Amino acid sequence: MRSVGAAPGSEASPRQRLELRRGRLALAVLAALTALALVAAPARAHANLVRASPSPGTAVDPAPLVVYAEFSEAIDSGYSSLDVLDANGQSVTTGPTEADPTSDAAMLVPVDALADGTYVVVWRTLSVIDGHVIRGSFAFGVGEPVAADVAVAVASIESSPAAAVSRWLLFMGVAVLIGGPVQVLLQRRGSRPGRRQIVELRTALLLMGGGLLALAGQIGLLGTQILVLGGDSLLAGFGDVFGAGQWGALWIGRTAALAVALVLADQAISSSGERRGRIAFGGVLLAGVVMAVTISLGSHAAALGDVGPALAADLIHLLAMGVWVGGLPVLLLLAWESRQARPDGSIAAELTEVAARFSAVATVAVGLIVVTGVYSAWLQVVEPERLWSTEYGLLLLVKLALVAPLLALGGVNLGWTRPRLAAGGAAGQTARTALRTLVGAEIVLAVSVMLVVGFLTEREPARQVSGEVALAVEGVGASGDTSGDTRVRVRVVPGRPGPNTLEVEVASPAGGRAVDAEVELQLRYLDTDLGTTVERPVRTEDGRFAVETDAFALAGMWQVLAIVRQPGAFDARVPVRLNIGSPTAIGVAEIDAAVAVRFWGLALAGMGFVLALATLARQGWAARARQAGTGAGFAAILLGAGLLIIGPPQGVSVSAVNPIPPDDVSVSAGRAIYEAECVSCHGPAGRGDGPLAATLDPPPLDLVIHVPLHPDDALFGFVFNGIEGTGMPAFGERYGELDTWHIVNFIQTLPEAARR
């Protein structure tokens, strides 16, 4: 039975003081959890292959000393592995998988002296945050092309329907814990004390139910994670859950916040209608926000650590969803209470005001959901064709198909039901019945949407799916000489070593496509001197040029020199450099950070517009809330417009390809700097055996092994900026860019010198 609170002005009983202290302690714990969640560093998730050495599908000679793999996100090296198998399925590795000291997203494994033939690399990664395990494989050849009948596995997440259902339960519980308190606190203003007490009691019971749903989801997620990590050993899996990555830490933080929410929901039941009840509802709301933060920190958005707004957009989307969807059950409770009309018509007036207040907040929430949802969907898909060519994209389309009628029902309530509620009479009675039916339908659709989201979060993001979409490598170049600014766009499909289609589009100096141009292409591999291949493409029906070629036999950097001849003009020589076998060629779509920031500016301006427009309307808003919302909306519009126009801050740009030719002059200059600065640690031959090597932890890298594993720009960054967490200092300020490239040119000679 609910205890009766003390009358106004009376002294609180010992039991009441104990409950107040209990509530304050719970709020203090919750505040600490909030602080921890907000300062936690965004981490990454879903580690899929983006680059390897040897490159997938290529043949190399001589045989590699190690096999190297780099992934799209940070990995837990203790639970991630590489294994290299020969044609008989026997492992040819000679030691354990090692983490790459230069990157938290790469690992390597030493291999035996490999004979000519085809080898398969089987890899397994564990995300440092969300605990998803991904497996895949690729093949490479030594001394001969990869065998045509070799079988490789497309990367896939180890998951189960139970995990998706568990996330569904968690999402529904968190939505109730956020939206329920918002509606209680919103609807208190001007309501009758008796009615207020009934509504708060029923909502508190609803919060308890939502908390239990979230608890079931948490237990389900823990169980499925133990099974994924432990395999046959559940005891080992239980230890791995809390010892691998940050998944366990986020789960513990979310569970602690949930425990606080359940305690406060219980207190709200026993003190509904009182001041303590308001405090308890506020605490439940804060607990729900903390849980939402922990969900976002382990989401697909957290994988985009270098795209700052991604995490903010995901969190705003989740909170807005909670406010809208979690508030629907409370609205249904209030509408259900209005079945019996009073003679004075007060029920109709109260329900009209309830609907107005709900609509005011829901309008803002829905606007934020739409804007942030579009932005987040773009980040996770990037290329439109991935919508229908990946499981993630198809599930996203299903989600949109369910969201559309959900938004439509909300629009009907806003545009049709509310005006008729205010009209009263027979129309008002009809509207009250319709409101109950429509809100019930909204709840069913919302539950369905969250079920789809549960499965969506268990799928590899569309942008990271490899081997399932059409691929291409593109580059653009301009002449910039006396012939004018002739521009050439080159596209290589599929962009992997082997047979490719080479497509060329030429834009004339006067603008538009050069319809009267003729094009000759000279293809040259930049990593070694293989000579030049000349191709003469044929003009297609749309004025472009295309040719099929087998010239791209090796992975690495290629230069396509387009010689453009036009009547009455000098020949234009336009070089375009392409990375065949690049991350894009493996199938992971790259996000342009500058475009992402500008897109975020547009999204921010859109959210500000929604907030300002919604709060300009007087109905449903308190005066202070309306003023604050309008001001915040216009501020967001200005900030978003600034990001859209100005774009991201410009940092130091480093060429992806060394602009300094590795001639004798450059190599000699790099050797002189190396001997003065690097020999003491790396040794004269770069094997990591210098006189100071034994004093360093971790030891210096063996450059003979590591230099061939990294592209030019990565090597430049290691020398120029140093390597965090190691004894490798930064030499950029001392030597500058030119000398840094000389050092890169010299250390790239060390592997070849070791083979002689």
Least confident stretch, 52-61, 237-246, 251-260 = 237-246
Can you read off the two tokens belonging to residue 749?
A: 């000679």
CB 526 within 8 A of CB 559: yes
Report the side by side order of strands in the sheet with 49-53: 49-53, 66-71, 106-110, 98-99
* CB 346 within 8 Å of CB 191: no
- Which H or E run contains 475? strand 473-478
What lies within 8 Å, CB to CB, of 281 at 6+ separation is: 180, 181, 184, 185, 200, 203, 204, 207, 264, 268
Listed in sequence order, the DSSP H helices in 653-709 are: 664-677, 679-682, 703-706
Say if CB 509 and CB 563 are below 8 A apart.
no
Structure tokens at 340: 């019996």
Determine the average pLDDT of the residues in 659-674.
83
Which of 118, 113, 111 lies closest to 145 in space, CA to CA? 118
d(Cα 64, Cα 142) in Å, to the nearest integer? Answer: 8
Among candidate residues 254, 265, 261, 327, the one with its CA nearest the CA of residue 292: 254
Mean pLDDT lowest among 248-252, 283-287, 319-323:
248-252
Q: Is the pLDDT of residue 676 over 80?
A: yes
Q: Which amino acid belongs to residue 586?
A: I
Percentage helix, strand, coil for the chain under 3-state DSSP, each rounded to 5: 55, 15, 30
Cα separation of 553 and 558, whole Å?
A: 10
Q: Is 417:432 a contact under the CB 8 Å cutoff?
A: no
Does the pLDDT of residue 554 top 80, yes or no?
no
pLDDT tens per residue, range 680-729:
999 999 898 988 888 888 888 889 888 888 878 888 989 998 888 888 99
Predicted confidence at residue 305, as pLDDT, reads 61
In residues, how long is the chain? 756
Measure Cα distances from 328 to 332, 421, 650, 731 in Å: 6, 18, 45, 59
Strand partners, 580: 556
Comparison of pLDDT for 292 and 137, the residue scoring more? 292
In the predicted structure, residue 101 carries a pLDDT above the cut 80: yes
The per-residue pLDDT for range 163-191, each reduced to its tens digit, is 889 999 999 999 999 998 988 887 766 55
Residue whose structure tokens are 């440092």: 128
* More confident of the two residues 599 and 419: 599
Q: Tell me how many helices (H) and strands (E) the chain has.
A: 21, 18
User: 489: pLDDT confidence band, cut at 50, 70 and 90?
Assistant: confident
| Contact predicate 61/528, CB 8 Å | no
- Which DSSP letter does residue 470 get? -
Q: Are 117 and 142 in contact (CB under 8 A)?
A: yes
Per residue in 447-471, pLDDT tens? 999 999 988 888 878 777 654 444 5
Give the whole-number percent of the chain exceeding pLDDT 90.
14
DSSP category for residue 695: G
The pLDDT score that the predictor gives to residue 584 is 40
Give the pLDDT mean for 508-520.
66
Instruction: List 561's β-bridge partners, or say none.
Output: 522, 575
List, in sequence order, every residue forming a beta bridge with 522; answer none if it has no partner.
534, 561
Residue identified by tokens 């849980």 is: 291
CB 87 within 8 A of CB 102: no
pLDDT bin (cut points 50, 70, 90) of residue 93 is very high
CB 79 within 8 A of CB 244: yes
Model pLDDT, residue 581: 65
User: Could you give the CA distance from residue 608 to residue 602 in angstroms, rounded to a whole number?
Assistant: 10
Please tell me the predicted confidence (pLDDT) of residue 39.
37
Q: Of 7-21, 260-274, 517-531, which gets the smallest average pLDDT?
A: 7-21
Question: What CA–CA distance (Å, rounded) separates 586 from 405?
Answer: 38
pLDDT at 406: 85
Q: Is the pLDDT of residue 24 over 60?
A: no
CA atoms within 13 A on the CB side of 160: 13
pLDDT at residue 712, rounded to an integer: 81
> How high is the mean pLDDT of the chain?
78
CA pair distance 71, 707, nearest whole angstrom: 18
DSSP assignment of 85-146 equals E-TTS-B-B-S--EE-TT-TTEEEEEB--PPSEEEEEEEEEEBSSS--EEEEEEEEEESSPP
Residue carrying the six token digits 């003469």: 536
Rounded to whole angstroms, the Cα distance separating 280 from 271 reads 9
Paired tokens of 552: 């791209």
> Given this model, what pLDDT does residue 479 score?
63
pLDDT (tens digit per residue) in 619-652: 667 777 778 878 888 888 898 888 888 766 554 4
* Listed range (101-105, 172-176, 261-265, 592-596) with the worst mean pLDDT: 592-596
Torsion of CA 66, 72, 73, 75, to 10 degrees: -30
What pLDDT score does 42 carry? 34
Please give the structure tokens belonging to residue 229: 């990590």
What are the tens digits of pLDDT across the range 409-450?
Answer: 877 877 777 777 766 666 667 777 777 888 888 899 999 999
Most confident of 220-229, 249-258, 377-386, 544-553: 249-258
Q: Report pTM.
A: 0.68
